[in-house]
A and B are shown apart, each in its own frame.
Chain A
Amino acid sequence: MVEVSSYEYPDEAQFGDYCALLKPRVMSLVVFTALAGLLVAPVAVHPMVGFASILFIAIGAGASGALNMWWDADIDAVMRRTARRPVPAGKVAPREAMAIGATLSVMAVVMLGLAANFVAAGLLAFTIFFYAVIYTMWLKRWTPQNIVIGGAAGAFPPMIGWAVATGSVSIESVLMFALIFIWTPPHFWALALFMNDDYSKAGIPMLTVTHGRRTTRNHILAYTVLLFAVAVGLGFTSVGGIVYTTLAVVLSLWFLKGAVAIWRRDEAAAEADNYKVERGVFRFSILYLFLLFGALMLEAALRPYALGGWG
């Protein structure tokens, strides 16, 4: 009788490792914002078409995550936050990650084109290209503005969701894009302030590394002021309303209060309390985006009962 061994090779990828390759946490944000773009659009979409479209957008986002892990395996291995990712951990071979990323990218774009329309598919293709090539291969290791320009990749999903429903781009979808685009720098710079050592060890030219923490604190404040204008401005378009605008004003003022607190602090104060304020603003920034897009969806849900929008 042959003895059956249940021994598992420590470095062989399991299903969970392939899931991790697609960056599920980033995917959840993509799904949420794309769903918001789809639901707030003025054109109703069949639930099955909507579900499939969101699925293919999520697969596209995951594919670009896999391409990012393939290209960035060397710097991921150096940074504490990313060292346990499947490629630097040796679970998935870099070429395998590249093959999965490229295959899923093509599949997601083609399937989104067939499920919804080719405007949405074109936007998804551009998003994958922007994240994998423009951000990952070029900007990330080259300029301290990497987060600013690269943030565009993460900002496209609501625009794609909107395009799934309407087949077009409009001021509402551009402003939803702008909301995430302007939100990204203060969000990541708040993280960079207390994770600076990781970035400098990996040689990534984050603003904290190239221009120092003082400049980063100034930039966080400037972008948060801009974010206030964009977030509130979105409230006065056809997707906004009293609920969203009130929430946008309150949350943006709270975000601004945090940004001012970051701006007023010096390194001695920040180190003394282990970057408590910076960590707090980073955590709040995630909640901020979820609540604002949640409010947009609430406005859309209330509209049939003549309760959403501006009446």
Chain B
Amino acid sequence: MSFFHPEHELHVRRRSRNLGMLGVLFGLVVVIFGLTMVKVRLEGESVGRGAPAQVQVESGASK
């Protein structure tokens, strides 16, 4: 919708399609962003749990 110019007929005709696509793409961005955050956090937690064991092995090997 434009404040200065009347809308082109095509924009009116395809409004539901365009708004629908906007919703789908926005939803997809939200899902992928959320998924990435969760994956990074889960990965961090699993590395955090594994880290002390690795340090022990390394320190044991150096003795």
Beyond A15-B21, A48-B34, A48-B38, whether A1 also contacts B6 by CB under 8 A is yes
A sample of 29 cross-chain residue pairs with beta-carbon separation below 8 angstroms, ordered by A number, consists of: A1-B6, A2-B6, A4-B7, A4-B9, A4-B12, A5-B9, A5-B12, A8-B13, A9-B13, A12-B14, A13-B17, A14-B16, A14-B17, A15-B16, A15-B19, A15-B20, A15-B21, A16-B16, A18-B20, A19-B20, A48-B34, A48-B37, A49-B35, A49-B38, A51-B31, A52-B32, A52-B34, A52-B35, A115-B35
Counting chain B CB atoms within 10 Å of each CB, the highest count among A3, A15, A18, A51 belongs to A15
Rounded to whole Å, the gap between the CB of A5 and the closest CB of chain B is 5
Chain A interface bracket (under 10, 10 to 19, 20 to 34, 35 or more): 20 to 34
Q: Sort A-B residue pairs by CB-CB distance and give the 6 closest, nearest first.
A: A15-B20, A48-B38, A15-B16, A52-B35, A15-B17, A5-B9
- Residues from chain A with Cβ under 8 Å of B19 in the complex: 15
Q: Which residues 16-46 of B sit at the A interface, judged by CB distance below 8 A?
A: 16-17, 19-21, 31-32, 34-35, 37-39, 42
Given A46-B42, A49-B35, A52-B31, answer yes or no on A7-B17 (Cβ-Cβ < 8 Å).
Answer: no
Bound: A7/B9 CA distance, A: 8
How distant is A256 from chain B, measured CB to nearest CB, in Å?
Answer: 43
Instruction: Check A48/B35 contact, CB under 8 A, given A1-B6, A15-B19.
Output: yes
Q: Which residues 22-68 of A have a CB within 8 angstroms of B?
A: 46, 48-49, 51-52, 55
- Complex Cα distance, B10 from A4, in Å, reads 10
The distance in angstroms between the C-alpha atoms of A14 and B19, with both chains bound, is 10
Contact with B12, one of A6, A14, A51, A55 (Cβ below 8 angstroms) = A6
Question: Once bound together, how far apart are the Cα atoms of A19 and B42, in whole Å?
Answer: 34
Q: Which of A1, A12, A19, A48 is packed against the most chain B CB atoms within 10 Å?
A: A48
Q: Of B7, B13, B21, B31, which is within 8 A of A7 by CB?
A: B13
Task: Quote the shortest CB–CB distance from A209 to chain B (angstroms).
Answer: 39
Query: Which residues of B sit under 8 angstroms from A49, Cβ to Cβ?
Result: 35, 38-39
In the bound complex, residues from chain B placing their C-beta under 8 Å from that of A115 are: 35
Taking CB as reference atom, which chain B residue is nearest A2? Answer: B6
A286-B34 Cα distance, complex, nearest whole Å: 34
Find chain A residues with CB under 8 A from B7 CB.
4
Which B residues lie within 8 Å of A48 (CB)? Answer: 34-35, 37-38
| B33 CB → nearest A CB, Å | 10
Report the Cα distance A51→B32, complex, angstroms: 11
Residues of B within 8 A of A4 (CB): 6-9, 12
Among residues of A, the one whose C-beta sits closest to the C-beta of B34 is: A48
| Contacts A2-B6, A4-B6; A55 near B31 (Cβ below 8 A) | yes
Kindly list 11 other residue pairs between chains A and B, CB separation below 8 angstroms, not including A5-B12, A15-B17, A52-B32.
A1-B6, A4-B6, A4-B8, A4-B9, A9-B13, A12-B13, A15-B16, A48-B34, A48-B35, A49-B35, A111-B32
CA gap between A173 and B39 in the complex, in Å: 25
